[in-house]
Structure 1
């Protein structure tokens, strides 16, 4: 049986390397052009570059070594399944009612402000601030630090539940591919349209999304659509899997160690959800690449040969994403063909995908925490006068040491990913020694990727060319 242990070990190793190869690109500076606009206020790291790179590499390397020393499968399983359950139907029902009311009122208010409020005011508009500061930054951070708040706040789900539905069978082959396509489209639209500077453009995007979402929920059941096809719901569900608080199948609230749910086999269940997880990494990579000197040079070169800027940005988005998917799937296929193991490449690709969520959460902290803090006074000012916001609101300047918070976010995400991958390997690999030896190259690759990621985060960002500001 030794040959089988070696085969399984090689399979897991190559998939881990593929996972980390995806994670390196996610460290590119700036998660979106929203953050680029605040690059002047971001924290800085006032230490030599080589020192903080070496420190980051040392932290990840040491954590990997310490993790590999934990070889007791029962001990690791106990940690991952420890939970505290508590239930209060009255409190949950009250929070749900209040949360749904807030969500619907917020959607109506954003549409009204976006249409009738002042235009061309950018990040002083309440519509823009709630979309990017509250939903994309704060609520997403809440999902992976506490638990997923979106099922309660989601206004489209509340509206769809009150509307009639055909309850047509959802095709199994469709999976979450509609959510994948929609998220990629949103990333492209965010770059090409002035959704940040023009509340009216953003309102139009919200209106189109509302129409498509309610149509999907009316065609299928709201439960099915918001579980599989809605990009925002899938976004929050996957980020929420990193958080410690969740509701089990019985509706009971349970509390587990942060990140341990990523080791469960029900977080990512098919290849379409794997593809969505890769989008979470790729959208950070893409949005960062187009604001760095290599990305700007690539865009200007392609436009210079006669391609339209919109087509160039779309091609970079789709080709890069296809490359990420191909690399991940090729790793699974290659290891399956070389390793004579009963584990299919599809199963291995699914089981090793959840650590991507921890890495994405770490980079989200690095890119959006400072963004949310800086614009918090602006958000409060816009809430006090949504139709007549202060044209020169207060923005907080981040202190120089805030750069260490960004670095900590990246490192914590990588450390959690190391632990989850280790837990999965102990579950899949029959031999403890084989599982340990299989992670030696993983340490080296993780150190290299961490150093590259931290270095890219330290680089300056510029406005992407040929787009409307």
Structure 2
């Protein structure tokens, strides 16, 4: 029974201080674990100096300790942590400026497609593959996760759509049925992942130009039919994915109430803690859950598909790799299998958590809410996995953009720059690179546990229920940590 007298308050304060001290001690153990905790597959330029078991144990301890730290902290800690904002500056109406930036982005996209069709056949000299696979799929995702929804300005559809809308006036559009959800975006994201990971020649400039140009046209036609906002939120997979990533950003755009008057008056840009915008996130639908799990499983399979272990399962000699054409069937099977396994593991974790906590909430509501904790993990794995490509291919992109059609131009003065392609493979650079990758993964997993903890309190107001509901999900995160470290340590092709 609680005590409300002076003595009771003193006793409660002592208990609270004891819990806080124990939480801080566990946090210290978390960061002092034997090795950097989480890692994902990347280009290997070094070997682990300690036995893999030490790294796996350190990673598992880090996740478990972060779970225990949050369980021992006051129940309102996540809410107080996320509620704080640092106002930066106000801004005016961004719709017109956004349209101008989008038109410029569209013009750049059209030039890149033309360069893919008529420029160099070398993927490291043609700017189209470098811009899409490096600057967009790696660089922009990283910036989106740090600074917010830049893609809402940079996407190449909004500007042309506004021009057509102004020329032809308000046209009647068809509203997609509610049951459709994000399934169009899921299907297109799967096609994109298949093209990137399985297709025999995703870097071929002409092949990529046709694919990118056709995708732009189909998406633009869908926006004209269904409306820009509806299709962007449900069907255009880049917009859906990057909007989810932006929920993790350090900058928050506060526009207040959504009406025409206040939109013209503008809003304010605030600095917030990473993950703060996930604290009030609404539960995702089944299609949204599947979309987020696909985002994580696809990048995980990218690492697995290059390992000696995976190729050995199908009798392939990794030292005599037969090429991507020979493994299309294997790759397609693996991409689907990785998604199915991750989805099954996530659902099992949610079901067990609901059962342990005795939650009155439905499975769909719990899964739709807790799946947001996948966002920081997916972002961290994405950045860590492609960091090497960003550092090396980013240099090739800088050079290629100065001479997009291989005509001897030097538009930005970078066409003849020296490419330090071996910088990431040097002993010292590799050591720093691996530690940065590990640090990114550590932060991602720690924040994932924090997000799950904060969201669990919305489902289970009782402390015991909230902790028990997260336990199976924490076990899944530990297992994924072990899998990620194994990917880092095991031999791979390339």
Distance apart, 1:409 and its partner CA = 1.2
Question: Structure 2 CA distance, aligned partners of 1:115 and 1:395?
Answer: 28
SS state of the match for residue 255, structure 1? strand
Equivalent residue for 1:70?
73
Question: Structure 2 CA distance, aligned partners of 1:359 and 1:115?
Answer: 37
Distance apart, 1:193 and its partner CA = 3.1
1:353 maps to 2:371: yes
SS state of the match for residue 218, structure 1? helix
Distance apart, 1:161 and its partner CA = 2.9
Question: Structure 2 CA distance, aligned partners of 1:274 and 1:249?
Answer: 27
1:432 maps to 2:463: yes
SS state of the match for residue 157, structure 2? helix
**CA distance 1:323–1:56, shift in 2 (3 Å):** closer
Unaligned runs of 5+ residues in structure 1 are 1-25, 31-38, 464-469
For 1:156-176, what per-residue CA distance to the aligned partner results, in whole angstroms no more than 9, with x for missing partners?
232223235541111101111
Q: Is the contact between residue 71 and residue 426 of structure 1 (CA under 8 Å) also seen in structure 2? A: no
Q: Which moved more, 1:270-279 or 1:81-90?
A: 81-90
Equivalent residue for 1:259?
275
For 1:434-469, what per-residue CA distance to the aligned partner results, in whole angstroms no more than 9, with x for missing partners?
434555666666445423322322223216xxxxxx
Q: Which moved more, 1:413-422 or 1:386-395?
A: 386-395
Q: From 230, 241, 266, give the equivalent of 1:235.
A: 241
Equivalent residue for 1:16?
none
Distance apart, 1:406 and its partner CA = 0.9
Equivalent residue for 1:394?
419
Q: Is the contact between residue 71 and residue 467 of structure 2 (CA under 8 Å) also seen in structure 1? A: yes
Distance apart, 1:349 and its partner CA = 0.6
Q: Is the contact between residue 358 and residue 416 of structure 1 (CA under 8 Å) also seen in structure 2? A: yes
Aligned residues: 422
For 1:107-142, what per-residue CA distance to the aligned partner results, in whole angstroms no more than 9, with x for missing partners?
1111110111011x1232100111011100110001
Q: Is the contact between residue 198 and residue 332 of structure 2 (CA under 8 Å) also seen in structure 1? A: no
1:60 maps to 2:63: yes
The TM-score, its normalising length taken from structure 2, stands at 0.77
Question: Structure 2 CA distance, aligned partners of 1:138 and 1:414?
Answer: 21
**CA distance 1:221–1:321, shift in 2 (3 Å):** same
Question: Structure 1 CA distance, aligned partners of 2:333 and 2:196?
Answer: 15
SS state of the match for residue 122, structure 1? coil
**CA distance 1:83–1:195, shift in 2 (3 Å):** farther
SS state of the match for residue 270, structure 2? strand
Q: Is the contact between residue 376 and residue 395 of structure 1 (CA under 8 Å) also seen in structure 2? A: no
The TM-score, its normalising length taken from structure 1, stands at 0.81
Q: Which moved more, 1:269-278 or 1:46-55?
A: 46-55
Question: Structure 1 CA distance, aligned partners of 2:280 and 2:458?
Answer: 11
Q: Which aligned pairs between 1:365-384 and structure 2 lie closer than 5 A?
A: 365-384=383-402
Q: Which aligned pairs between 1:262-411 and structure 2 lie closer than 5 A?
A: 262-266=278-282, 268-299=283-314, 309-332=327-350, 341-388=359-406, 394-396=419-421, 397-398=423-424, 399-401=429-431, 402-411=433-442
Equivalent residue for 1:109?
111
Question: Structure 2 CA distance, aligned partners of 1:342 and 1:50?
Answer: 40
SS state of the match for residue 291, structure 2? helix
Question: Structure 2 CA distance, aligned partners of 1:141 and 1:243?
Answer: 10
SS state of the match for residue 458, structure 2? helix
Q: From 201, 206, 209, give the equivalent of 2:212.
A: 206
Q: Is the contact between residue 85 and residue 271 of structure 2 (CA under 8 Å) also seen in structure 1? A: yes
Q: Is the contact between residue 245 and residue 254 of structure 1 (CA under 8 Å) also seen in structure 2? A: yes
Distance apart, 1:335 and its partner CA = 6.2
Distance apart, 1:418 and its partner CA = 0.9
SS state of the match for residue 55, structure 1? helix
Q: Is the contact between residue 182 and residue 231 of structure 1 (CA under 8 Å) also seen in structure 2? A: yes
Q: Is the contact between residue 99 and residue 162 of structure 2 (CA under 8 Å) also seen in structure 1? A: no
Question: Structure 1 CA distance, aligned partners of 2:126 and 2:196?
Answer: 16
Unaligned runs of 5+ residues in structure 2 are 1-37, 166-170, 257-265, 317-321, 409-414
**CA distance 1:104–1:44, shift in 2 (3 Å):** farther
Equivalent residue for 1:138?
139
Question: Structure 1 CA distance, aligned partners of 2:140 and 2:220?
Answer: 22
Question: Structure 1 CA distance, aligned partners of 2:138 and 2:240?
Answer: 16
Q: From 167, 182, 190, give the equivalent of 1:184.
A: 190
Equivalent residue for 2:24?
none
Equivalent residue for 1:83?
85
**CA distance 1:325–1:447, shift in 2 (3 Å):** closer
For 1:216-260, what per-residue CA distance to the aligned partner results, in whole angstroms no more than 9, with x for missing partners?
101101011111111010110011111122334536333321112
Equivalent residue for 2:148?
147
Q: Which moved more, 1:360-369 or 1:164-173?
A: 164-173
| Structure label with greater radius of gyration | 2
Question: Structure 2 CA distance, aligned partners of 1:184 and 1:439?
Answer: 29
Q: Is the contact between residue 125 and residue 382 of structure 1 (CA under 8 Å) also seen in structure 2? A: yes
Q: Is the contact between residue 353 and residue 470 of structure 2 (CA under 8 Å) also seen in structure 1? A: no
More RCO (CA 8 Å, sep 6+) = 1
Distance apart, 1:189 and its partner CA = 1.6
Q: Is the contact between residue 141 and residue 245 of structure 2 (CA under 8 Å) also seen in structure 1? A: yes
For 1:86-119, what per-residue CA distance to the aligned partner results, in whole angstroms no more than 9, with x for missing partners?
5544484686355324311221111110111011
Let me know the Cα RMSD of the aligned residues: 3.0
Question: Structure 2 CA distance, aligned partners of 1:314 and 1:444?
Answer: 28
